[in-house]
A and B are shown apart, each in its own frame.
Chain A
């Protein structure tokens, strides 16, 4: 069975509303940004209901004739919304955006708005931990040591970018010298051009070297000794690469 976790009051109210109307023949729609969990929520609440995408207009019409209960995903992609008859059926639709408000208003008895992950910090933490466990297993990084709080979380496209930022961070963290060489090799192979290549791509090596060095050793004086270069040379490079 589909699992759905939430600690957000707003989402819990949506679940409560659905649970109250579960046995009734009413039409409901969940509207929210992409990758906020609309489909998971619908499947979690109505595990038995057949699912059809709004992209396939014929399939929707067919299923509406046959079934008393159904889930229509991507409702915004359905072109013949106005002509649908959702009366006396248990229809649960999901949509990325409202579209024509009047039409939605006429079709659906219950219109729920699913808030984005940005507004659901507890839910984000929960999903993040799921993705971390999944990434650890997929990337075979069971022994990798890191702090969860350090992962820069990108929620601009909700769970999609959240997942990507976790995988990216873990891959970066687990690379050894060979992997890095390989990554630089592919990058340069793709981009090398012009007549100043050596200087242009030197930054790939110098910038992370100085940034990490400063972080680790604190002062420029100390870092210059560790790197075995002159203090003035180091300062020049810091300016060159705009490192604060």
Chain B
């Protein structure tokens, strides 16, 4: 039997495909290495910000230090980071993904009706327009297939989401299929449809209700200072 000494193993691919972002910086803050997951993270946060973070949480002398903290970048959420350096030239940072809480509410299939989501969105925008005159831009993908929605509670969720922008200027609404992203419901992978509403600011008085309504329908709400995004599972069976 062949034995392989530990030095001969190439560890890089294990890090490459690690689900947790890992970055290696030079002393000047240049990226020397980053894994796939970190590459996606850089779509939402600047190099400088993460480098500064690494410096701020670096151990006092050579070695590795893990700090527990709450970090949020867009839909990324981390509960801890490990910063380490073994020489003066390189510093590494690794992020630990916060586990996604599993929804305990079962899917109420009898309430789900195959629906064209664009219709519900259009109706809710019309309702919004009866009360507000804010300029509103809609970018939607008419090719999103009809899928199963609890029409009543989803409409409520849409109403509350739009209402949060009742005093905002230049409201931007986009509806699209998130390519390559999935959510697991009832043990099955489902594609995700994303509804994003953005503006120069918004009310947050109904955030709690939005969270509750969304969670009931297995929708992931991402509530930011100036935007609300709903990640809706595309359930067809």
Contacts and interface: CB of A to CB of B under 8 A. Distances in A.
Contacts of B127: 13, 17, 110-112
B131 A26 contact: no
Contacts of A108: 156
A26 B126 contact: no
B151 A25 contact: yes
A233 to B, nearest CB: 61
Given A20-B122, A27-B152, A88-B152, A112 B130 contact: yes
A138 to B, nearest CB: 35
B123 A21 contact: yes
B129 A13 contact: yes
Interface in B105-141: 110-111, 113, 115, 119-120, 122-124, 126-127, 129-131
Contact of A21 (B120, B129, B130, B153): B120
Contacts of A24: 113, 115, 119-120, 123, 151
Contacts of B111: 87-88
Interface string B147-189: 0001111011001000000000000000000000000000000
Nearest to B108: A87
Q: Choose among A17, A106, A108, A109 the residue with the greatest number of B CB atoms under 10 Å from its CB.
A: A109
A13 B123 CA distance: 9
A63 interface: no
A13 B133 CA distance: 12
Interface of A: 10, 13-14, 16-17, 20-21, 24-27, 86-88, 105-106, 108-113
20 contacts: A13-B126, A13-B130, A20-B122, A21-B120, A21-B123, A24-B119, A24-B123, A25-B113, A26-B120, A26-B152, A27-B152, A87-B150, A87-B152, A88-B111, A88-B152, A105-B156, A109-B159, A110-B123, A111-B127, A112-B130
Interface of B: 110-111, 113, 115, 119-120, 122-124, 126-127, 129-131, 150-153, 155-156, 159
